[in-house]
DNA sequence: AAAACCATGTCAGATTATCTTACATTTCAT
DNA sequence: ATGAAATGTAAGATAATCTGACATGGTTTT
């Protein structure tokens, strides 16, 4: 009943907050941005501003990384998700779909197979995830 | 499906964002805090961090101010709301209720009548509220 | 009408948070 | 052993925020 619906892609959060929410370091977050996994907005003074969607993505990145997927793999996985997210609207999506497919489909299968095979071995460093967010 | 429930009183927002969301100036927000209408958390470095509840409250403050209610009135109104918010849990609330009532009930009626009478005259400066939040 | 008050604006100086760039380190793949 | 990928870390710069003080325009109160 209080006025605040706050859309999911509204730029709201500073990097410090996102660090706490995701348990990622600033370095990691910036690195993932550098590689196009997220594209946070900026303030007039060039500070990053993250949306809820950005945070969700970062949490997915973290999960996948914990499972041994590398950034290239995550990039492709995000591409696939983009396909399926436009789901129940079937008629004129096929064009956009095909475009993205051409770019990724071939190597996608290869990459996914490759990555997901070794997933679960090694890696998985960050322990039982509940470390101290918000002291 | 994306991981982010974000509780309503989790300290998340910088004052800059809150300014945009509420259309209040930093001065106003700090002044309202100074008078106990909100109590935002702080970072280790003393920066204010606001929760969704803080923002809701600020929006209510803004509304009431636009209607000519002064801070003293808003304070009392918030007190009343606190009563009614613990509603459907009737049995052992009566104690806390009575305490707060003793402090505010008498002058509350007086104040509310007084304030709400002249509400709507003068004041009402901030125009049809949609000015430029997020450039 | 003068004095006091309320709510806000504004300025100044200090401090924190974040930015970019560059180099170091670690781990894994070839 | 070499190289690439992912992250750590340090330095210097800039932006955002903080507190405190004083200024200002209305509103009561005396």
pLDDT exceeds 90 at position A11: yes
Tell if A17 CB is < 7 Å from nucleic strand D.
no
- The 3-state DSSP class for residue B5 equals coil
Q: What is the mean pLDDT of chain B?
A: 72
pLDDT exceeds 60 at position A8: yes
pLDDT in tens, A44-84: 999 999 999 999 999 999 999 999 999 999 999 998 877 76
Q: Percentage of residues in chain B with pLDDT exceeding 70?
A: 56
Q: How far apart are CA A19 and CA A27, in angstroms?
A: 10
Q: In A, which residues are within 8 Å of B60 by CB distance?
A: 2
pLDDT exceeds 60 at position A98: no
Question: What is the model's pLDDT at position A30?
Answer: 98
Bases along strand D below 7 A from a protein CB: 5-9, 14-19, 26-28
B13, A13: Cβ pair inside 8 Å? yes
Tell if A42 CB is < 7 Å from nucleic strand D.
no
Contacts A–B by Cβ distance under 8 A: 44
Residue that the structure tokens 């923002």 belong to: B55
Question: What is the model's pLDDT at position A80?
Answer: 82
Please tell me the least confidently modeled range out of A50-54, A89-93, A102-106, B70-74: A102-106
Residue that the structure tokens 């190597």 belong to: A107
Question: What is the model's pLDDT at position A19?
Answer: 97
Question: What is the model's pLDDT at position B7?
Answer: 78
* Nearest residue in chain B measured CA to CA from A135: B44
Nearest to A124 by CA among A67, A70, A43, A83: A67
Helix (H) or strand (E) run with residue B48 in it: strand B48-49
| Cα Rg of chain B (Å, integer) | 17
Of A3, A10, A11, the CB nearest to B56: A3
Of A114 and B82, more confident: B82
This prediction has a pTM of 0.72
């Amino acid at each position: 009943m209080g006025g605040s619906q706050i859309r999911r892609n509204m730029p709201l959060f500073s990097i410090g907050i996102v660090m706490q929410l995701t348990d990622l370091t600033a370095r990691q977050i910036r690195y993932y941005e550098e590689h196009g996994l997220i594209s946070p907005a900026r303030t007039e003074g060039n500070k990053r501003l993250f949306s809820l969607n950005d945070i969700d993505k970062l949490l997915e990145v973290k999960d996948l990384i914990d499972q041994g997927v590398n950034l290239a793999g995550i990039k492709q996985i995000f591409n696939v998700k983009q396909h399926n997210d436009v789901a129940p609207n079937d008629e004129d999506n096929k064009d956009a779909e095909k475009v993205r497919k051409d770019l990724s489909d071939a190597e996608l299968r290869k990459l996914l197979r490759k990555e997901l095979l070794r997933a679960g071995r090694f890696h998985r460093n960050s322990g039982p995830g509940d470390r101290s967010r918000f002291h």
